[in-house]
Amino acid sequence: MTLNIGVIGTGAIGREHIRRCSQVLQNARVVALNDINRSNCEQIVRDFDLQAEIYDNAHDLITAPEVQAILVTSWGPTHEAFVLAAIQAGKAVFCEKPLAVTAQGCMNIVEAEMASGKKRVQVGFMRPYDSGYLALKSVLESGEIGEPLMLHCAHRNPEVGDAYTTDMAITDTLIHELDVLRWLLKEDYVSAQVIYPRKTRKASSHLKDPQIVLLETTKGTRIDVEIFVNCEYGYDIQCEVVGEAGIARLPEPMSVQTRRAARLSTGILTDWKKRFIDAYDVELQAFVNNVLSGNMTGPSAWDGYAAAVAADACVAAQRSGNIEPIAMPARPAFYD
Amino acid sequence: MTLNIGVIGTGAIGREHIRRCSQVLQNARVVALNDINRSNCEQIVRDFDLQAEIYDNAHDLITAPEVQAILVTSWGPTHEAFVLAAIQAGKAVFCEKPLAVTAQGCMNIVEAEMASGKKRVQVGFMRPYDSGYLALKSVLESGEIGEPLMLHCAHRNPEVGDAYTTDMAITDTLIHELDVLRWLLKEDYVSAQVIYPRKTRKASSHLKDPQIVLLETTKGTRIDVEIFVNCEYGYDIQCEVVGEAGIARLPEPMSVQTRRAARLSTGILTDWKKRFIDAYDVELQAFVNNVLSGNMTGPSAWDGYAAAVAADACVAAQRSGNIEPIAMPARPAFYD
Amino acid sequence: MTLNIGVIGTGAIGREHIRRCSQVLQNARVVALNDINRSNCEQIVRDFDLQAEIYDNAHDLITAPEVQAILVTSWGPTHEAFVLAAIQAGKAVFCEKPLAVTAQGCMNIVEAEMASGKKRVQVGFMRPYDSGYLALKSVLESGEIGEPLMLHCAHRNPEVGDAYTTDMAITDTLIHELDVLRWLLKEDYVSAQVIYPRKTRKASSHLKDPQIVLLETTKGTRIDVEIFVNCEYGYDIQCEVVGEAGIARLPEPMSVQTRRAARLSTGILTDWKKRFIDAYDVELQAFVNNVLSGNMTGPSAWDGYAAAVAADACVAAQRSGNIEPIAMPARPAFYD
Amino acid sequence: MTLNIGVIGTGAIGREHIRRCSQVLQNARVVALNDINRSNCEQIVRDFDLQAEIYDNAHDLITAPEVQAILVTSWGPTHEAFVLAAIQAGKAVFCEKPLAVTAQGCMNIVEAEMASGKKRVQVGFMRPYDSGYLALKSVLESGEIGEPLMLHCAHRNPEVGDAYTTDMAITDTLIHELDVLRWLLKEDYVSAQVIYPRKTRKASSHLKDPQIVLLETTKGTRIDVEIFVNCEYGYDIQCEVVGEAGIARLPEPMSVQTRRAARLSTGILTDWKKRFIDAYDVELQAFVNNVLSGNMTGPSAWDGYAAAVAADACVAAQRSGNIEPIAMPARPAFYD
């Protein structure tokens, strides 16, 4: 049984997902492509030796009878419309983050999906598929460290370009923690505060870097996330959970330990693409498997909405300097 | 393009490889099965919902026209004949270790394969596909630690059953190091010595445990391997390469670090099957890909022969207490 | 040249310092003792075989001609008067924390010491004498990680008694960080905020535990300190400095690494007294040496005052939930 | 109570011990000096502001009435005669290694000491006073890892001068392991074998480097020690004890962990003098305390003899390539 997939958007991420479907995953076949630039599609067909139709209109791809599932990897502002169209066409859809550029857009998708009566949407949050986060969650669920009370996290990039703005620390960077920490704790957020430490001289003049985001959850668990996107030394994701009886820490990526030049050391990644490279494979295979088995278990439209609501509050907190509430409606039973 | 595979032997390892072909790998399909116990095959057909013919005679399976490649996962003493038959049938064959139970048997396969004019055999040594060993090899090849001079290795199991005998420390346990260290260093062995330390009280009365094997390579590199199969604390594979300018160490398997009950710790595996679980997937996918592309790159019949010759010398050294030479003919250009 | 020391207060800490002077340090001799309970003094004279006078009145001890320097290890509320008396008597004085129970009390000492024209006071903050903090400071000063931007710290005890109150998290526990981080950064604090995470069920009903204190320094460096005094797993002091070019972390105390029972681990201390045991020796030896050489270099009365001012603001922040300013007068040149 | 010490030999090590006695230790005073070069003594008297007599003849120093104990830190070949003279004078003597340059010389001292009826000799092996080795021994004695079966050790220096010869790998380098491992295991050696791995290009043409020494103890415990004196990367002492139930490893020296330039690392020492710097203090303080209390507990003349016998066998094994027996008489009850 093979899933026939249509891909909307063949930029860097789209291309990677097409490679995955063609060369890594089981039971996936890319049969249709769309891009605002048709020649990108032609190039990909050649590169991966695909038997795939090229559509000039994404909506035609969505409704094409040979297409069973859609990957949305186009420009962010187009996501909402394509996902809604896929739902309307009764097709499963994997949408790269953001699900929509506003919380209301996400809610529109939630409502459409619920109205359609069936879960069809998976959002491209890959960290819940990372073996490190899965191992961490497993330790939490074993009860070994007791109930979680605090999380100390960091999201560090060696550098970012000049186009990276202060609010992108939330919408592009923190967004991953906003999703994965909800998943890890099974708790929603209730408030956010943002602190601006002394600024690194490596950051653009317009960018506040680093930032510290403080989150509070429904159970009172406190989370601090250091966001430092010009940290220079590497791409480094840290997550430490302090529980009532002990502490558990996200594993460092595997690395050869060396003794050399008076240092005992392991490597730190510098390229973010390598950090979760396996998780992307697992994430997309899970989507394929779930669509084929009819049981969607990945990050849902509701999860996309929850991340968007939290991100909005964090951006508000960036601007106000205050502790901002994060107000979420109760989760519909549909998403349990 | 999918490779049609016939599997001979459906015990634990055979079953695992069938699961892999069916549920994990790309472009592989099990189409034929043989086992001395036909009902095993029937069970597997049901369990994995296979479209596969069951053959009562392994040689019929080997020559069956729908079978493009053979997996030999039967009892060790049968391997040689099945591999030779596969070569004669002009089919690719993946053979679990041992390739043959004697060095001469391995040489028979080498000669048959060379006579056939084409590489068709891959031996089931999975460690060269392990991400840790690959990372270690990459550090060696970077020149970062200079030329290797010594290797300190350990192969430890928490316990073994009473059926495990002193020579199995070589033929079942060390055999993996004998293969992977040749691959890592690109050097052959020239001598072996075995030392028996003080015996653990956890071992059977007939078993010498632990043992230390000392190997010397063509370039004079010295290797010590501690084999300790009742070490109690875990399944632990260590490999440290001491070079002219530094030391590199095989990564520990990923684990959540905890602070708990006055210990800062990470987990050590206890089940050997988990240690190289990913490597088995990569190994078998490589076989499939190589057969489909016509370019065999995995552990070859020659590698199987080399491991067998070294193992024989180690067993001789166990018995004599002396330093035993390891004599290998020059590698035929066919295997370069 | 030996320093003749009089000790006021012979409880647990006083006894330890007397042991140090008698059995560990160079050039120190305890020649006079005072305690509200004279029999304590007699016991100590016997235990350490001292040639020491017992004084029933601490002020007589302070003015006794054979006494060259005073150790104040009595009950906290008595410290201020004894230190002031020592200054008036023209004698060097080592005072266990707190220097005084109010910031104003500390300021009284600062003013008296300045009026006396000579530095004579050392406060018993031992962490600047800990080899780990010294090594951390040395990395910072090497410039290796660039300018410090953020500090992530933790101060964890396995448990505290029922008498431990919420404000003691500041005055007894955080007080050490308030001192050592000023010393580490050479910066003063400008604001404090306190956050109460979800409470551990191991804490007394009246105690808020854990707490997170957020501090800001004059240069904008941001510090978060987790205080968790019923963390169960151990006594654990963490300090991580995030700089513009890298991160440096306070070393863990030395421990044998073991592989045992499926864990690769090192020990974590559970007894706070062992954590800085060497630092106490170094601290008191430094006092002795400094008095003998006439050049006081340890934590000064001004440092005691600065810690007290910061602690007051933290306690205010505990109560208000707000960000509280920390206002310090400029440091007098006398203390440069 | 202060011990009056006379020092014979005021080269680098002598000078260090004099500094220790004067500036670090309790209850020690250097009152007499001797050196083949009198001006060295004069310099030291000035540098450390000593009240010390300078003797032109070491034997006069030994018998001088004000001298209670002797430190022998002169040239190795002179040790035996000075130690014998000290015993004859009825004085305690601390002798830097080697106790004598031959095993017979050591035995002469053992016999003289026994004849004198009282233990008076401490040999300058400092590792049993190192906090790391002490912690390791404490883990062994706790029974946590069961009975020791194997030890994997390494003694690495970044480089040595051209004067360093192949046998100095035993007599200057391994000698420390020969002592400390006997102390750690409380076992004597029964055989030695030496293996020469591929040679590093960093070593002098005449020097075999690295070397691996294999030792066997009375209980059958097997020890491998890698000696690598041009390892380039640092001064690194490793000791791993494999027991029946687990493994314990000598702690790495304390170091700040950094994340910098894509490496997560700690420092490795390069200067051997820093590695055991604290142990030298503890060792000499123990000597002083033991002499004053009349109970000698440090490395004894017998320990010096045992190390010399083992070293002789190792040198023989270097030359023969064979497994050489290590024959020791039974330890006299005098040394229990």
Tokens of B176: 């993996």
Distance CA A320, CA B3 (A): 61
What is the predicted pLDDT for the residue at D201? 98
Structure confidence by residue, pLDDT tens digits, C229-285: 999 999 999 999 999 999 999 999 999 999 999 999 999 999 998 999 999 999 999
B224 close to D212: Cβ distance less than 8 angstroms:
yes
Mean pLDDT of B324-328: 96
pLDDT at A1 over 90: no
- Token readout for B81 is 């004949």
Q: How does pLDDT run across B307-320, given as a tens digit for each residue?
A: 999 999 999 999 99
pLDDT band at B231 (very low <50, low <70, confident <90, very high): very high
Class at the top of the CATH hierarchy for domain C128-270+307-335: alpha beta
Give the number of other CB atoms < 10 A from CB of residue C78. Answer: 16
Closest CA relative to residue D286, chosen from D19, D27, D5, D10? D27
Contact call for residues C103 and C308 (beta carbons, < 8 A): yes
Would you call A198 and C210 a contact, using CB atoms and an 8 Å cutoff?
no
Mark which residues 150-209 of A lie under 8 Å from C by CB.
150, 152, 195-202
Report the CATH number of the D129-271+307-335 domain: 3.30.360.10
- Token pair of D18, please? 């004099």
Write down the domain spans for chain A: 3-123, 128-272+307-335
Contact A268 D270 (CB under 8 A): no
Residue-wise pLDDT for B125-184, tens only, equals: 999 999 999 999 999 999 999 999 999 999 999 999 999 999 999 999 999 999 999 999
CB contact under 8 Å between D199 and B219, yes or no, is no
Predicted confidence band of residue D1 (pLDDT cuts 50, 70, 90): confident
ipTM: 0.95
Q: Strand, helix or coil at D213?
A: strand
**Residue B1: its pLDDT value, please?**
80
**Contact predicate C244/C147, CB 8 Å:** yes
**In angstroms, rounded to a whole number, what is the distance separating the alpha carbons of residues D68 and D3?**
7
Question: Each residue of C82-119: pLDDT tens digit?
Answer: 999 999 999 999 999 999 999 999 999 999 999 999 99
pLDDT-above-70 percentage for chain B: 100
Distance from CA of D200 to the nearest CA of B (A): 6
- Encoded tokens for A305: 């909405």
Question: Does D167 score more than 90 pLDDT?
Answer: yes
Q: Which of D137, D256, D284 to mutate to test the interface with C (most CBs of C within 10 A)?
A: D256
Q: Are A262 and D267 inside 8 Å of each other by CB?
A: yes
Mean pLDDT of D166-190: 97
Q: Which amino acid is at D209?
A: D
Per-residue pLDDT tens digits of chain C, which is 336 residues long: 899 999 999 999 999 999 999 999 999 999 999 999 999 999 999 999 999 999 999 999 999 999 999 999 999 999 999 999 999 999 999 999 999 999 999 999 999 999 999 999 999 999 999 999 999 999 999 999 999 999 999 999 999 999 999 999 999 999 999 999 999 999 999 999 999 999 999 999 999 999 999 999 999 999 999 999 999 999 999 999 999 999 999 999 999 999 999 999 999 999 998 999 999 999 999 999 999 999 999 999 999 999 999 999 999 999 999 999 999 999 999 998
For chain B, what's the residue count? 336
Q: Please list every residue in chain A whose beta carbon sits closer than 8 Å to the beta carbon of residue C196.
A: 220
3-state secondary structure of D261: coil
Quick one: chain D helix, strand, coil %, rounded to 5?
40, 25, 35
Confidence at residue C1, expressed as pLDDT on a 0 to 100 scale: 80
Q: Residue B210: its chain D contacts at CB < 8 A?
A: 149-150, 242
What are the phi and psi torsion angles at C54 (to 5°)?
A: -105, 125
CA distance C90 to C62: 10
For D20-61, the pLDDT digits (tens) are 999 999 999 999 999 999 999 999 999 999 999 999 999 999
CATH of domain B3-123: 3.40.50.720
Q: What is the per-residue pLDDT across D295-314, written as a single tens digit (0 to 9) for each?
A: 999 999 999 999 999 999 99
B335 phi and psi angles, rounded to 5 deg: -100, 10
Q: Write the CA distances from C234 to B285, C12, C196, C293, integer angstroms.
A: 47, 22, 21, 40
Closest CA to B200 of D133, D184, D222: D222
Task: Answer whether A257 touches D (CB < 8 Å).
Answer: no
Kindly list the residues from chain D whose CB atom is less than 8 angstroms away from the CB atom of residue C261: 246
Structure tokens at D331: 């330890």
Q: Is D107 left (phi over 0), alpha (psi -120 to 50) or beta?
A: alpha
pLDDT at position A320, please? 98
Q: Give the nearest chain B residue to D195 (CA atoms).
A: B222
Confirm or reject contact between A16 and chain C (CB < 8 A).
Answer: no
What is the C-alpha separation between A77 and C255, in angstroms, rounded? Answer: 54
The reply to whether D136 touches chain C by the CB within 8 Å rule is: yes
**How close C264 comes to chain A (CA, Å)?**
14
Is-contact A59 A34, C-beta < 8 A? no
- DSSP code string of A134-193: HHHHHHHHHTTT-SEEEEEEEEE-S---TT--TTHIIIIIIHHHHHHHHHHHT--EEEEE
Model confidence at A300, pLDDT cuts 50, 70, 90, reads very high
Q: Give 3-state DSSP helix, strand, coil % of chain A, rounded to 5.
A: 40, 25, 35
> Does C24 contact D at CB distance below 8 Å?
yes
CB-CB: which of A201, A219, A226 is closest to C150? A226
Which pLDDT score is estimated for C322? 96
Q: pLDDT tens digit string along A55-78?
A: 999 999 999 999 999 999 999 999
Average pLDDT over residues A262-269: 98
**Tens-digit pLDDT profile for residues D101-121:** 999 999 999 999 999 999 999
Indicate the average pLDDT of chain B.
Answer: 97
Which run of H or of E encompasses D180?
Answer: helix D175-185
Sole residue written with tokens 């020659």: B302
CA atoms within 13 A on the CB side of C257: 12
Chain C residues within 8 A of A322 when measuring between CB atoms: none
Which residue shows structure tokens 């220097």?
C99
- CA B59 centroid distance within chain: 24
How far is CA A229 from its chain centroid?
17
Q: Which residues of D touch A259 (CB under 8 A)?
A: 233-234, 236, 268
Cβ-Cβ pairs closer than 8 A, A with D, add up to 48
d(CA D97, CA D92): 16
Please write down the HEC assignment for all residues of chain C.
Answer: CCEEEEEECCCHHHHHHHHHHHHCCCCEEEEEEECCCHHHHHHHHHHHCCCCEEECCHHHHHHCCCCCEEEECCCHHHHHHHHHHHHHCCCEEEECCCCCCCHHHHHHHHHHHHHHCCCCEEECCCHHHCHHHHHHHHHHHHCCCCCEEEEEEEEECCCCCCCCCCCHHHHHHHHHHHHHHHHHHCCCEEEEEEECCCCCCCCCCCCCCCEEEEEEECCCCEEEEEEECCCCCCCEEEEEEEECCEEEECCCCCCCEEEECCEEEEECCCCHHHHCHHHHHHHHHHHHHHHHHCCCCCCCHHHHHHHHHHHHHHHHHHHHCCCEECCCCCCCHHHC
pLDDT per residue over B243-296, tens digit each? Answer: 999 999 999 999 999 999 999 999 999 999 899 999 999 999 999 999 999 999
Mean of per-residue pLDDT scores for chain D: 97
The domain defined by B128-272+307-335 carries CATH number 1.10.3720.10: no
Chain B contact for A258 (CB, 8 A cutoff): yes
